[in-house]
Amino acid sequence: METESNQRARVLFNGVAKRYDLLAEVFSLWQNRRWRRFLVSQLHVEPGQRMLDLCTGTASVAIHIAKTYGARVIGVDLSENMLEQGRLNVRRHGLEDRVTLVLGRAEQLDFPDGYFDAVAFTYLLRYVDDVAATVAEVARVLKPGGTMASLEFAVPGRAIFKGPWLLYTRTILPLVTKAISPGWSEVGSFLGTSISRFYANTPTEQLHQIWRNAGIGHVNTRLMSLGGGMVMWGTKDEGTSVSE
């Protein structure tokens, strides 16, 4: 069943799909692409293996994975408009045989246990009601020994960087996006407060523990761009079962 958080995310991203790729780069100050490249670099996938890309959006990560590793990628997202744009991107890159995009929710994945050799998700956890249950569900469909990696926005820890980050996310971004469209205005107004709220409720140390509780070991974290982004990755423990 779709939750209130799911509904908000779907409406939010349906409203910005057409120009998402360009404006996501502009509003991240051209850091988003670099973050995604680092995310993909932490995956360990062989040609022909199955890879899951959650919150695939316009399929930029899925396309990068397919090109980098020669893997078969299934991208899942709950925004119909983002998936429509993603399919256009997949066709433009000639990857219809390796990238499949489907509508779905991370909290309830329609795949068997251990189905994927690796999984990745981007900007997911701020849009779910139960972070621990969602991470456990994502880990469920990962094979033991497979890699799980995520990319999320972050809040800079040092005051010298946090001050400008607050100014940008609370004042500049809302003003600029308001001039573009109602959909982007909603994103600009929501983004900064949602990031701060997420880490107030789920500090990084707690997030590490959530991953470990889901059977993901050797969890690593790298802060990106002075703390504005965070990539986390780890390996599913051998012998992990759904009942654990």
244 in helix, strand or coil? coil
Helix pair angle (204-213, 131-140), 10° resolution: 40
Tens-digit pLDDT profile for residues 88-121: 999 999 999 999 999 999 999 999 999 999 999 9
Tens-digit pLDDT profile for residues 144-157: 999 999 999 999 99
- Say if CB 22 and CB 32 are below 8 A apart: no
Q: How many residues does the chain have?
A: 244
Residue 243 belongs to a domain: no
Alpha carbons 165 and 124: distance in angstroms, whole number = 21
Residue 16's domain is classified under what CATH number? 3.40.50.150
Residue 83 belongs to a domain: yes
Report how many domains make up the chain: 1
Alpha carbons 34 and 58: distance in angstroms, whole number = 16
Mean per-residue pLDDT of the chain:
93
Residue 82 belongs to a domain: yes
43 contacts: CB under 8 Å, gap ≥ 6: 51, 65, 69, 118, 120, 147, 149, 233
Q: Give the other-Cβ count within 10 Å of 38's Cβ.
A: 16
User: How confident is the model at residue 149, as a pLDDT?
Assistant: 98
Residue 140: how many CA atoms within 13 Å on its side-chain side? Answer: 18
Residue 106 belongs to a domain: yes
Closest CA to 118 of 66, 79, 59, 170: 66
Domain residues for 134? 4-236
User: How confident is the model at residue 14, as a pLDDT?
Assistant: 85
Distances (CA, A) of 188 to 1, 168, 169, 180: 28, 10, 7, 10
Alpha carbons 58 and 32: distance in angstroms, whole number = 13
Residue 60 belongs to a domain: yes
- Please list the alpha-helical segments (H only) found in the chain: 4-14, 20-27, 32-41, 60-69, 80-92, 131-140, 159-167, 173-178, 182-201, 204-213
% pLDDT > 90, the chain: 83
- Say if CB 142 and CB 242 are below 8 A apart: no
Distances (CA, A) of 6 to 14, 112, 127, 137, 167: 12, 22, 6, 16, 28
User: How confident is the model at residue 44, as a pLDDT?
Assistant: 87
Residue 134 belongs to a domain: yes
Residue 244 belongs to a domain: no
Residue 31 belongs to a domain: yes
Tens-digit pLDDT profile for residues 191-209: 999 999 999 999 999 999 9
Per-residue pLDDT of the chain (244 residues; tens, 9 = 90+): 778 788 878 888 888 888 889 889 998 999 999 999 999 999 989 999 999 999 999 999 999 999 999 999 999 999 999 999 999 999 999 999 999 999 999 999 999 999 999 999 999 999 999 999 999 999 999 999 999 999 999 999 999 999 999 999 999 999 999 999 998 899 899 999 999 999 999 999 999 999 999 999 999 999 999 999 999 999 999 865 543 3
